[in-house]
Amino acid sequence: MSEIKKFSELDLIEPIARAVAGEGYEIPTPIQARCIPHLLEGRDLLGCAQTGTGKTAAFALPILQRLAKSGGRKSRIRTLVMTPTRELAAQIADSFNTYGRHLSLKCTVIFGGVSQRKQEKALKQKPDIVVATPGRLLDLMEQKLISLKGLEYFILDEADRMLDMGFIHDVRRVIDVLPAKRQSLFFSATMPPAVAKLAKRLLTDPVRIEVTPPATTVDLIDQSLMFVDKDDKRKLLETILNNSTVSRALVFSRTKHAADRICKQLENNDVAAGAIHGNKSQNARTRALDGFRAGKLRVLVATDIAARGIDVDDVSHVINYDLPNDPESYIHRIGRTGRAGRDGNAISFCSGEEVDYLRGIERIIKGKVPVDTDHGFHSDDAVNGLEDGEPAESPCKRQAREQADRNRRRRNKSGPRLTRSGAKRASGGSRRPKSPSKNRAKNAGPAKNRRRRSKRSAV
Ligand code: AMP
């Protein structure tokens, strides 16, 4: 297929082309140019792409067109998009509404952590498109408030993150009830074996499209690394924020607790900041994100999962207050700046305990992150993986060691145990596994499943 350079070459119907022009898009991004023609023909698709590539329009535009051309509203759910986080679900639904604003189709969004009533009401209006997170979707399916019998298009977004977040069983349960005749689209930033297996189960003779492997995206972003002692990170962040070129900054922390603490410190210094993480209510998260989007908050502090897929224009800086232990997260984080071909800046702090994480990141981006020593808090100790002059332990290793210590203490407290024959057995020795049937019975209760799901969807 020759390279498509303009939206007008994509055979989009007038109301959709008008909406796209209204968004100011002139040239399709590579994923749009490559996906849209196949999707308009009705092919299944396996897309290896991450957010920031224009992926949403790549699937929303052709699906809207197929819905419109095959009769428009039919008073049943014809399209389901499943995505791991609430923010992403809301964003995708917004995109469907934007690109479909000159059509008469209805789209609704469904996610957990908020009252179900409004969503029930929206479902009664028989939307054509539903964008959902897995937990709430299954809840509503179990309550017979959603039927997928008439589904024609299914899109699974961010499949690898679904797996990471423990949604894979929920996803399989949804796939199991989909009608056999359908068009399916599957998107994932990475393709580990479990994800590839799921794709095989879902798709029939798919076109495979891979765009912007991580290293290419990274090339657009001006990255820098600052070695700093853990206790100096706060002051270093303040210094960076004193620079007016940092107009809109997304700051990543490792834990929810740290996100709150950083946010509070910034507010104390008169920096307009908000935080989003899994312990915040949905309303608080929406408020913070909207404030950040509207420019009322200059800084948004987030944990990885809460920030996944956040699409905010003109994020001038991503600041990794803590380096992620999963190197792929580094790519996802810095991809929040430099979106859709624009330049961006990513500054990463690295303390002595994070040097191992840095090595993992440099392996995956296949290069070194340029080091900036020209700041007031540079630490040679951190460069050498030291903390207070001693070799530092990574947060993951420390956590594992502390957990092992706690387990050991608990075992010692309960003392040696007696086996049935009366002989002493050291606690912590091999324990008889629970019978599988007992485990099954324990996991089967719907109430328990529901609780577990709503907890998971609260990230
Ligand atoms: P996505 O990867 O779908 O999250 O899109 C990332 C950003 O790119 C969003 O802000 C879109 O509005 C924007 N975008 C998508 N397609 C285009 C395009 N063809 N031209 C310019 N911006 C685009």
pLDDT band per the 50, 70, 90 thresholds, residue 305: confident
Average pLDDT (261-278) is 94
Average pLDDT (292-317) is 86
Give the residue from 290, 454, 338, 323 showing the smallest Cα distance to 392: 323
Q: Is the pLDDT of residue 250 over 80?
A: yes
State the distance from the centre of ligand 1 to the C-alpha of 99, rounded, in angstroms: 12
Task: Name 213's Cβ contacts closer than 8 Å, sequence gap at least 6.
Answer: none
Q: Is the pLDDT of residue 447 over 50?
A: no
C-beta 136 within 6 A of ligand 1: no
pLDDT band per the 50, 70, 90 thresholds, residue 340: low
Which of 35, 98, 339, 342 gets mutated to test ligand 1 (max ligand atoms within 8 A of its CB)?
339
Tell me if 446 sits within 8 A of 128, measured CB to CB.
no
State the distance from the centre of ligand 1 to the C-alpha of 378, rounded, in angstroms: 37
Give the residue from 47, 144, 60, 147 showing the smallest Cα distance to 107: 60
pLDDT at 363: 85
pLDDT at 378: 96
Give the residue from 289, 222, 311 showing the smallest Cα distance to 23: 311
Terminal alpha carbon distance of the chain: 41
Q: Whose CA is nearest to atom 11 of ligand 1?
A: 54
State the distance from the centre of ligand 1 to the C-alpha of 313, rounded, in angstroms: 9
pLDDT at 113: 86
pLDDT at 235: 96
User: Which atom of ligand 1 sits closest to the CA of residue 50?
Assistant: 2
Average pLDDT (349-369) is 91
Q: Is the pLDDT of residue 216 over 50?
A: no
Question: Which of 7-11, 266-270, 336-340, 390-394 has maximum average pLDDT?
Answer: 266-270
Q: Is the pLDDT of residue 430 over 90?
A: no
C-beta 57 within 6 A of ligand 1: yes
- Mind listing the pLDDT tens digit for each residue in 29-86? 889 999 999 999 999 999 988 777 889 999 999 999 999 999 877 889 999 999 998 8
Indicate the average pLDDT of the chain: 85
pLDDT at 458: 33
Question: Among 33-47, 194-208, 292-306, 442-456, which is the least confidently predicted range?
Answer: 442-456
Tell me if 134 sits within 8 A of 85, measured CB to CB.
no
Which of 6, 7, 23, 50 gets mutated to test ligand 1 (max ligand atoms within 8 A of its CB)?
23
CATH topology of domain 221-398: Rossmann fold (3.40.50)
Q: Which two tokens stand for residue 4?
A: 């498509």
Q: Is the pLDDT of residue 424 over 70?
A: no
Q: Which residues of 154-173 are buried (b: 16+ CB within 10 A; e: fewer)?
A: bbbbbbbbbbbbebbebbee
Which of 29, 187, 188 gets mutated to test ligand 1 (max ligand atoms within 8 A of its CB)?
29
- Mind listing the pLDDT tens digit for each residue in 97-124? 999 999 999 999 999 988 999 999 999 9
Task: Name 327's Cβ contacts closer than 8 Å, sequence gap at least 6.
Answer: 357, 360, 361, 363, 364
More confident residue, 341 or 112: 112
Which strands make up the sheet holding 221-227, listed edge to edge?
221-227, 344-350, 317-320, 249-252, 299-302, 273-276
Q: Which two tokens stand for residue 425?
A: 């057995």
pLDDT band per the 50, 70, 90 thresholds, residue 450: very low
pLDDT at 434: 40
User: Which atom of ligand 1 sits closest to the CA of residue 313?
Assistant: 10
State the distance from the centre of ligand 1 to the C-alpha of 340, rounded, in angstroms: 6
Question: Among 49-63, 208-222, 294-308, which is the least confidently predicted range?
Answer: 208-222
Task: Name 245's Cβ contacts closer than 8 Å, sequence gap at least 6.
Answer: 316
State the distance from the centre of ligand 1 to the C-alpha of 270, rounded, in angstroms: 33
Q: Which two tokens stand for residue 438?
A: 């007992």
- Mind listing the pLDDT tens digit for each residue in 162-193? 887 889 899 999 999 999 999 999 999 888 88
C-beta 338 within 6 A of ligand 1: no
pLDDT at 388: 83
CATH topology of domain 7-210: Rossmann fold (3.40.50)
C-beta 21 within 6 A of ligand 1: no
State the distance from the centre of ligand 1 to the C-alpha of 37, rounded, in angstroms: 18
pLDDT at 391: 84
C-beta 28 within 6 A of ligand 1: yes
Give the residue from 160, 119, 168 showing the smallest Cα distance to 141: 119
pLDDT at 3: 65
Tell me if 108 sits within 8 A of 122, measured CB to CB.
yes
Fold: same for 7-210 and 221-398: yes
Q: Is the pLDDT of residue 155 over 70?
A: yes
State the distance from the centre of ligand 1 to the C-alpha of 56, rounded, in angstroms: 8
Which of 32, 51, 56, 331 gets mutated to test ligand 1 (max ligand atoms within 8 A of its CB)?
56
User: Which atom of ligand 1 sits closest to the CA of residue 309?
Assistant: 4
State the distance from the centre of ligand 1 to the C-alpha of 51, rounded, in angstroms: 9
pLDDT band per the 50, 70, 90 thresholds, residue 429: very low
Write down the domain spans for the chain: 7-210, 221-398
Q: Give the whole-angstrom CA distance, residue 286 versus residue 315.
A: 17
